[in-house]
Structure 1
């Protein structure tokens, strides 16, 4: 398999790479003017210091960088930002980004052409997107002083994913992705998986998600960061590797409609040392127009609740949290099923239903709400 390989040369020789990983970035009505102006002080405040002194700073770019207004046919919001966003990221120290997410293709081919141009102009290397599925499977490999760090960036299936004959994001595949991770570990010193998936606004993994993360670790992943949920979830150390089920956003202030749930407003920056394999979680919260390091009681509360959810992975009560979340979503999912059977707008409603079956996270909820066992069977 081909890889994108980037060489880094330093005067001071070290044998490890300090890595900073952030979650989803999508400028909003509250922040777009500041991205256009390049006002990093307002956008990032005291978090700017986090980007200093690292060998790798990588974020998930969850929007097209385009002025196009042509949206693909889809359900849900379409996300875009001004092309100058790439220059802003570069100015604070971001050299890499993942495009493996469900919104990167919202503005189609023109949106991607503009995005590639903006990233190239800013000298930011991307991963997780390709001209077709095989092309999208290329890993990002960063080499320094003989050490090789590999990022495997994948997403669940929502509109943006590549096929054999269509450009798109690198979709997760239960066979190919595991094989890609195994090969990556054979060829590199450290493998970090960025998995864009899991149920939005849910602080717990589904049983399927936890199982596949364990499988990825068993095949060579040193760390897995699950993004996309827009909230801080829970963490476990499994077989000496790190799994974070929900990192929260990076920069998605006030969301799409200006009134997101409270959980939207807090997030974690992740620092990772590729040799010691130590991981550090840094709590951050939104401001009116940017983000700031969490302090005082808010910082303590974020980390206290995070640790409580982490403990649930050890005692099994995470399953209760997952089930409760699914039950709260039951009416919505029943509505999707009912509408798929309606004669009014049948194509539209059936397409929505097909989307729910295509997306792994939606299917996880269906499986929790509507199990296929039969009560009349022998026990």
Structure 2
């Protein structure tokens, strides 16, 4: 089977009008060629498809898009949307139910969400010509994750997800894991993220894609599996004016050979296009450099330098929450940084325990 695995899709102010009128040629231009001849196309839908206006309490933007987005996804050939991400619940239960209804109306399957914590654990299975594959989607704990008594996204559990991979591999030729997490805009994995990626492959995953970081990250081939530590956005145009934001990798996966192909995508004015010429070469050169750092060990230096660049922000979060006149916002920001795994990765890198000072001289 030929699979196409795509990163974050979210209509923005620049692109939503074109989603509304289903102007596919403007939105996707020559990337439409990627959708041809594929047996299964998987994408991460990074927003709610709703007209709801009541946002949940959170930090960061609340993302939504017109329901016509689902029609566009159907017309370009998307078969299944991964919904385990930190924005699918931005407009609460109403927004998520509207999203599921829009996908259902257009015959698009979804995975990574459920009526409650247990229901969200359902994986997606696809079978063709007697061959079966499984797609497992999970996210870090950032506002959207399902609870015992509330619908939401599937939160990543370091024990349950590897076990789900092992169970799936018993009946499937291939298992794909989409992990929505990691530190935004960092091309290097944290030590925890790298351990997760490798553990998932050892459990039986053939492809592990880390999404959410909005930047292309490092890649490694590991014990017969493929791990991409940052796929970048697929269609999320003009939300931020950052170089990292403007490029991504579409992933083609051949389930028979086990080979992956990375296709660089570039942001345009209202849509996206295949990267070409110097732009293509620059994207792939950076990608190769990030990937090389995993082999020579320099990824740890890159990760640490990134964390150091964020130190002032994290220190302010601590200090503001500790003030006698701290606000509800200050306290919530501190709690959020403790709840979300990507933030605790930075905490641990910046503020190691005193055990690190207990050196024993030989």
For residue 305 of structure 2, the aligned residue among 324, 343, 368 is 324
Q: Deviations over 1:208-251 (max 9, x none)?
A: 10011111111110110000000000100000100000000011
For residue 261 of structure 2, the aligned residue among 280, 293, 310 is 280
Q: Deviations over 1:238-276 (max 9, x none)?
A: 001000000000110012xxx431110000000001121
Distance in structure 1 (CA, Å) of the matches to 2:6 and 2:55 = 27
For residue 297 of structure 1, the aligned residue among 257, 260, 278 is 278
**TM superposition shift of 1:373:** 2.6
SS at match of 2:217: strand
Task: Indicate how the Cα distance of structure 1 residues 310 and 345 shifts in structure 2: closer, same or farther if over 3 A, else same.
Answer: same
SS at match of 2:134: strand
How do 1:1-379 residues align onto structure 2 when only pairs under 5 Å count?
17-255=1-239, 259-374=240-355, 377-379=358-360
Distance in structure 1 (CA, Å) of the matches to 2:180 and 2:355 = 34
Q: Deviations over 1:284-321 (max 9, x none)?
A: 10001000000001101111111111111000000011
- Which aligned runs of 4 or more in structure 1 are off by greater than 3 angstroms? 343-346
Distance in structure 2 (CA, Å) of the matches to 1:174 and 1:373 = 26
**TM superposition shift of 1:49:** 0.9
Q: Deviations over 1:125-180 (max 9, x none)?
A: 00000011111111100011111110010100100001221111001001111111
**TM superposition shift of 1:342:** 2.2
Distance in structure 2 (CA, Å) of the matches to 1:332 and 1:152 = 33
Q: Deviations over 1:191-219 (max 9, x none)?
A: 00000011000000000100111111111
Distance in structure 2 (CA, Å) of the matches to 1:374 and 1:137 = 37
Distance in structure 2 (CA, Å) of the matches to 1:375 and 1:30 = 48
CA RMSD, aligned part only?
1.0
**TM superposition shift of 1:189:** 1.1
**Unaligned segments of structure 1, at least 5 residues:** 1-16
Distance in structure 2 (CA, Å) of the matches to 1:286 and 1:376 = 46
SS at match of 1:133: coil
Distance in structure 1 (CA, Å) of the matches to 2:128 and 2:322 = 57
Distance in structure 2 (CA, Å) of the matches to 1:83 and 1:299 = 33
Distance in structure 1 (CA, Å) of the matches to 2:82 and 2:358 = 47
SS at match of 2:233: coil
**TM superposition shift of 1:75:** 1.0
Distance in structure 1 (CA, Å) of the matches to 2:3 and 2:266 = 21
Distance in structure 2 (CA, Å) of the matches to 1:147 and 1:348 = 51
TM-score for both structures, normalised by structure 1: 0.93
**TM superposition shift of 1:347:** 2.8
**TM superposition shift of 1:345:** 4.5
SS at match of 2:51: coil
